[in-house]
Amino acid sequence: MRTGTAHLPLHTGRAPRWLFERMVRLAREIVRLLVEEHGPGEVLRRLSDPFWFQALGCVLGFDWHSSGVTTTVCGAVKEALGDAGPDLGLFVAGGKGRASRRTPAEIEAACERVGLEADGLVRASRLSAKVDSAAVQDGHQIYHHAFFFTRDGRWCVVQQGMRTETRTARRYHWLGEAMASFTVEPHAAVCAETESPTLNLVARESEPAQAASVALAREPGVVLDAVARATDLTLPRRHPVSLADVNPRYLRKILLETYERAPQDFEALLGVPGVGAKTLRALALAGELVYGTRASTRDPARFSFAHGGKDRTPFPVDRETYDRTIEILRQAVDRSRVDRSDKVRALRRLARFGLSR
């Protein structure tokens, strides 16, 4: 399920090297401590929480609200787990821009190292990206995709899209646990300040539109005829489906592909190479014209400083305090591995006693 979405202002620039190196070291110790206390699955659950992820960015010293927190935090965690990942049972693939396109190969390489089947993880990576880039059309184009997974096959995704005309970014969090469906309400909650004009093909009320799209994907002539007839229609302003950017020649090529593959359901249709936002819009519109199955336009969308921020907000990063934090966490993890002391167990018993009073 997708656990949440964060809306952020779109910022340029990058973290200075001296700060990023510290972010990597601190991220490594935080993840080590989480794995030691709760196991690698808990790291996935926390990364998939948009509020916890944002707080992690603040603790690491990055901007508290800019789009850069997504790419920089994911990059720091990925670098932190480069060597430590196999020991912790945690792996990261993907990233920003061209790095996102290397996600399947990186998943396969990591799985080969630990003897894990990669096909299901690669499929989860591709489908989560396809849903947020094509099946939920909220105006934000995906440009960052980070895939986190464990040695036992659990996974989460942190990906981000940008909308240049409004200079906003939207971050999408996914968690593979208890995933019922990629195509029907995969979002448990989506947090955003404003709604976007949206074509939401994974809303429950879009299930008839999904079925119509699958049927029409096997009937190219019907779709092309419907699209041609629709060019003279004046659609209401509230309706997000537009024909302005549908290229009939390209659409014909894609529909021949879907005809030959004959997808059996909407998830299979999403998996057809080349089926993207424009194809799905055309199928949704044709489905409304042919079958009367209107797609949903409901937008699925519905925080602590420790070291400062790279832009000196709310205060400059204190390098001495930052380095001391890394060292304290490192020592704590090392001590806990050597001796799961009675002191820790006593504190837990005391905490339980306090809660029971």
List Cα–Cα distances, 345 to 40, 351, 352, in angstroms: 21, 10, 11
Report d(CA 351, CA 138) in Å as an integer. Answer: 45
More confident residue, 285 or 24: 24
Select from 242, 265, 291 the last residue of a domain. Answer: 291
Provide mean pLDDT across the span 188-209. 72
Query: Does the predicted TM-score (pTM) go above 0.85?
Result: no
Same domain assignment for residues 262 and 137: no
Same domain assignment for residues 263 and 283: yes
User: What HEC string does the chain produce?
Assistant: CEEEEEEEECCCCCCCHHHHHHHHHHHHHHHHHHHHHHCHHHHHHHHCCHHHHHHHHHHCCCCCCCCHHHHHHHHHHHHHHHHHHHHHCEEEEEEECHHHHCHHHHHHHHHHHHCCCCHHHHHHHHHHHHHHHHHEECCCEEEEEEEEEECCCCEEEEEEEEECCCCEEEEEEEECCCCCCCCCCCECCCCCCCCCCCEECCCHHHHHHHHHHHHHHCCHHHHHHHHHHHCCCCCCCCCCCCCCCCCHHHHHHHHHHHHHHCCCCHHHHHCCCCCCHHHHHHHHHHHHHHHCCCCECCCCCCCCCCCCECCCCCCECCHHHHHHHHHHHHHHHHHHHHCCCHHHHHHHHHHHHHHHC
Tokens 């937008």 found at: 299
List Cα–Cα distances, 51 to 66, 124, 190, in angstroms: 14, 23, 11
Tokens 């096997």 found at: 218
Instruction: Give the model's pLDDT for residue 79.
Output: 95
More confident residue, 295 or 349: 295
Task: Compute the Cα dihedral for 106, 110, 112, 117 and give only its sign.
Answer: negative
Same domain assignment for residues 9 and 133: yes
Statement: residue 350 has pLDDT above 70: no
Highest mean pLDDT among 49-63, 148-162, 169-183, 252-266: 148-162
Same domain assignment for residues 45 and 172: yes
Mean pLDDT of the residues in the chain: 81
- Please name every residue paired with 94 in a beta bridge, in sequence order, or none if there are none: 146
Domain with 80, as residue range(s), is: 2-198
Beta carbons within 10 angstroms of residue 120's beta carbon: 15
Q: How would residue 175 be classed by pLDDT, with cut points 50, 70 and 90?
A: very high
Contact 74, 60 (CB under 8 A): no
Ramachandran angles phi, psi of 157, nearest 5°: -130, 140
Select from 265, 291, 317 the last residue of a domain. Answer: 291
More confident residue, 291 or 296: 296
Same domain assignment for residues 241 and 182: no
Contact 121, 111 (CB under 8 A): yes
More confident residue, 216 or 192: 216
Instruction: Give the model's pLDDT for residue 232.
Output: 45
Lowest average pLDDT, out of 13-27, 83-97, 115-129, goes to 13-27
Q: What is the number of structural domains in the chain?
A: 2
More confident residue, 212 or 317: 212
Q: Is residue 351 part of a domain?
A: no
Spatial strand order in the sheet of 141-150: 2-9, 168-175, 155-163, 141-150, 90-96
Statement: residue 252 has pLDDT above 70: yes
Amino acid identity, position 172? Y
More confident residue, 174 or 5: 174
Provide mean pLDDT across the span 198-214. 89
Task: Find the largest Cα–Cα distance for the chain.
Answer: 77
Q: Is residue 300 part of a domain?
A: no
Lowest average pLDDT, out of 114-118, 121-125, 259-263, goes to 259-263
Same domain assignment for residues 259 and 152: no
Question: Tens digit of pLDDT for each residue in 53-75?
Answer: 988 888 888 776 678 889 999 99
Same domain assignment for residues 19 and 147: yes
Report d(CA 70, CA 40) in Å as an integer. Answer: 20
Same domain assignment for residues 175 and 34: yes
Same domain assignment for residues 10 and 91: yes
Instruction: Give the model's pLDDT for residue 150.
Output: 96
Highest mean pLDDT among 229-233, 280-284, 330-334: 280-284
Lowest average pLDDT, out of 20-29, 104-113, 205-214, 337-346, goes to 337-346
Provide mean pLDDT across the span 141-170. 93
Same domain assignment for residues 190 and 212: no
Same domain assignment for residues 278 and 213: yes
Instruction: Give the model's pLDDT for residue 195.
Output: 59
Contact 231, 224 (CB under 8 A): no
Provide mean pLDDT across the span 104-120. 95
Report d(CA 164, CA 71) in Å as an integer. Answer: 17
Task: Verify cis geometry, omega within 30 degrees of 0, for the bond prior to 50.
Answer: no
List Cα–Cα distances, 339 to 331, 348, 350, in angstroms: 12, 16, 19
Q: How would residue 38 be classed by pLDDT, with cut points 50, 70 and 90?
A: very high
Same domain assignment for residues 218 and 186: no
